[in-house]
Amino acid sequence: MSKTWIIGSTGIDAIFVHILVFQSVAHVAGFRMSKLERYVKIATRDNTRGAYHGAILQFVIEWGGFLPATAESAPSYLADHAETLSVNTLCQRFGALAF
């Protein structure tokens, strides 16, 4: 069982990140969403889902990271972007990776 590390986020954000990743995998594999996944999707804004999705894609595709992010890769990723991104953006991206 993996630990969840969220900075500046609530429990629903942690659940959402787990579900966002699951949905991405489930969509590719052809699985259907559970009631909880549908509820979280409805309860979160499109912009929030888009921001988390974009952060995960940027981490994996552009930066070359692997999911789940490790205790070594997440801080390295944040340090690489510390001079170009705002603190709020870094926290949001860390929240997207912390699952």
Alpha helices by DSSP H, listed for the chain, are: 11-29, 35-43, 46-57, 73-81, 87-97
56 closest CA partner among 43, 41, 72, 67: 67
Q: What is the dihedral of CA 80, 76, 54, 5, to 10 degrees?
A: -140
d(CA 72, CA 44) in angstroms, rounded, equals 29
Give pLDDT tens digits for 2-53: 434 444 444 445 555 555 555 555 554 455 667 777 777 776 778 888 888 8
pTM more than 0.85: no
